[in-house]
Structure 1
Amino acid sequence: MWAVSRRVLRLPQALGQCAVRQIGQSQAVPYQPITLSPTMLRKATRTLLNDIDLIVYDMAGTTVQEGGIVYKTLQSAMREDGLQVSDEEMHPWHGAKKEAVIEHFALKAGTPPADIAERVTRVGEWFVNAIDEAYFNEASAIDHIDIGLLGYFRQLKDAGIKIAFDTGYPENIQKGLIKRLGFDKVADAYISSYQVAEGRPYPYMIHHLMEQTKVMNVKRVCKVGDSVRDIEEGRNAGCGLVVGVLSGADDFDELMKAGAHVVCERVTDLPVPRRHVAPDERRLPDLS
């Protein structure tokens, strides 16, 4: 557990929720600071997932440790095609569907509308080939975001919580990562933004995952991600709990400003609840 000298539990006055952050960081919204001992922190947060039936996890930066390769590769792909994109310009696009990013910068560079589709396809193909090589070659350092991640997922499943993944990766990249990292052994469902009309911040991936996992109440769904777009996706979907993690793209203030209910260092910081039975499992079957 975190040392009491390094952590503060802060309560956003407007939201009535909690977030754990490092002391000394600037804050974007008003907080009422309360310093808790490790024991009290465990008590205050141990029921966070008690009413959750499904957790939808982002991949890169949230559950997958890949060092920001996906964004660096997309940036390189655009530069190879003559689009000058700075790190600062790329940052707000973390978590977005890659075609949307390419189209934005192509239009900004003055690409004629009639040529946009061809340019998006060309840059997109360069990106997919490069990311496939970076992720799946023998020297790839792609790994779990935490050494105990699979064990943590199994504990959640033992507690009755379903596990799902959503991503802005193309389907083949997502499936390759799911298999490479062993997520296929714990996932109840997964989906790519390429399988729905719009990716994040639209809520469609979460709603499709609810359908696949037969979870009826969106208030019993938790969305976890490292980017502002993940938080916006969870809030737009109506999730009962939206969690930001500091292991990837965006910082504490950005995640809280986007509407996160809880912010923690990494996904495994969320406490595993005691075994519970989902409401739909307690209902009698509809015989009408």
Structure 2
Amino acid sequence: MTTFDDIVIDHSKAESAFSDELETIEIELVVLDMAGTTVKDEGVVERAFVLAAERTGFVSAGDDRDEALDYLRATMGQSRIEVFRALAASDDDAERANDAFEDAYAEIAAAEGVQAVAGAEDLLHELRESGVKIALATGFSRRICDILLDALGWRELVDVTLSPAEAGRGRPFPDLPLTALLRTSVSRVDAVVVVGDTASDMLSGIASGAGLVVGVLTGAHDEATLRDAGADEVLESIADLSELLGLDEE
């Protein structure tokens, strides 16, 4: 499992060419994370993780489980199956834990419903009206991604949706933004904006060469963590992205 200890961030990225030339480079694609960025999490990931641990015993209660939860929080945004592989004793245990996690997440979503972050759906409409392509990318599997899409009715609002298995590797690798770029026929990588709520999102966006990498504070990680991971900008929520990109001036 990839963590962040051995990744060196060039903080000159904060003075990115995209930020300096926002008015001269046409934005062609915005890659948005799901849980914590456009979809409210409300602790569901952690609750589903604990249920998976209780049902499968892949990690014991007590200090071991507390350490596992700390690891989960640190690696939010990364492929869930890869997180379980890092924590479980074997691949078989990881697969069982991941299946139990998905079952628990689906149960919670069905019982409590799924809600968008305030302003997220408005942003999707604004991007589409502006001719900007939209990708939703997630660390969840296709199964959970589809549960969220169907609950919110967003399938017709976006151009592509991606889980790690469909891109090759999950975050912090660049595969998700680059696969979105290829599938939407974007002409240049610096015309891509990557937005997320975790350090993994920031690292993935930087690694892909995206012109602008934006953190939001509605999810897992705080502003210091997002900036330490290389965020060009940090917003209170996805609702503020329209103003940053100048969509509200069109």
TM-score, with length taken from structure 1: 0.72
**Unmatched 5+ residue regions in structure 1?**
1-12, 19-43, 277-288
Supply the distance in 2 between the matched residues of 1:119 and 1:152 (Cα, whole angstroms).
Answer: 40
Give the letter for the 1:126 counterpart: A
Q: Which residue of 2 aligns with 1:230?
A: 201
How many corresponding residue pairs?
228
Residue among 133, 158, 172 paired with 2:107:
133
Q: Which residue of 1 aligns with 2:3?
A: none
Query: Considering only CA atoms, is the larger Rg found in Structure 1 or Structure 2?
Result: 1
Alignment of 1:166-205 (within 5 A): 166-205=137-176
Supply the distance in 1 between the matched residues of 2:129 and 2:168 (Cα, whole angstroms).
Answer: 33
CA contact 2:217–2:237 (8 Å) conserved in 1? yes
SS for the counterpart of 1:94 is: coil
Note closer, same or farther for the CA distance 1:177–1:249 as it changes in structure 2 (3 Å cut): same
Note closer, same or farther for the CA distance 1:16–1:126 as it changes in structure 2 (3 Å cut): closer
SS for the counterpart of 1:101 is: helix
Residue among 247, 257, 260 paired with 2:231:
260
Supply the distance in 2 between the matched residues of 1:64 and 1:189 (Cα, whole angstroms).
Answer: 16
What is the CA distance between 1:74 and its match in structure 2?
1.9
Residue among 30, 46, 49 paired with 1:55:
30
Deviations 1:203-259 (A, max 9, x none): 111111111111021100000000000000000101000000000000001000100
Give the letter for the 1:88 counterpart: D
What is the CA distance between 1:275 and its match in structure 2?
9.6
Residue among 153, 172, 187 paired with 1:216:
187
What is the CA distance between 1:198 and its match in structure 2?
1.3
Choose between structure 1 and 2: higher helix proportion: 2
Q: Which residue of 2 aligns with 1:118?
A: 92
Alignment of 1:158-173 (within 5 A): 158-173=129-144
Note closer, same or farther for the CA distance 1:85–1:216 as it changes in structure 2 (3 Å cut): farther
More moved, 238-247 vs 263-272: 263-272
Residue among 86, 109, 123 paired with 1:104:
86
Deviations 1:43-82 (A, max 9, x none): x99x579631100000000000121212331243135414
What is the CA distance between 1:141 and its match in structure 2?
3.6
Give the letter for the 2:177 counterpart: I
Supply the distance in 1 between the matched residues of 2:14 and 2:182 (Cα, whole angstroms).
Answer: 30
Give the letter for the 1:93 counterpart: T
**Unmatched 5+ residue regions in structure 2?**
1-10
Could you list the runs of 4 or more consecutive aligned residues of structure 1 that deviate by over 2 angstroms after TM superposition?
Answer: 13-18, 47-51, 87-90, 272-276
Q: Which residue of 2 aligns with 1:273?
A: 246
SS for the counterpart of 1:143 is: coil
What is the CA distance between 1:182 and its match in structure 2?
2.0
Supply the distance in 2 between the matched residues of 1:273 and 1:211 (Cα, whole angstroms).
Answer: 25
Supply the distance in 1 between the matched residues of 2:72 and 2:123 (Cα, whole angstroms).
Answer: 32
Give the letter for the 1:226 counterpart: D
Identity of aligned residues (%): 30
Supply the distance in 2 between the matched residues of 1:256 and 1:100 (Cα, whole angstroms).
Answer: 24
Supply the distance in 2 between the matched residues of 1:48 and 1:250 (Cα, whole angstroms).
Answer: 29
CA contact 1:168–1:194 (8 Å) conserved in 2? no
Note closer, same or farther for the CA distance 1:236–1:75 as it changes in structure 2 (3 Å cut): farther
What is the CA distance between 1:190 and its match in structure 2?
0.9
Give the letter for the 1:251 counterpart: D
Choose between structure 1 and 2: higher strand proportion: 1
TM-score, with length taken from structure 2: 0.83
SS for the counterpart of 2:30 is: strand
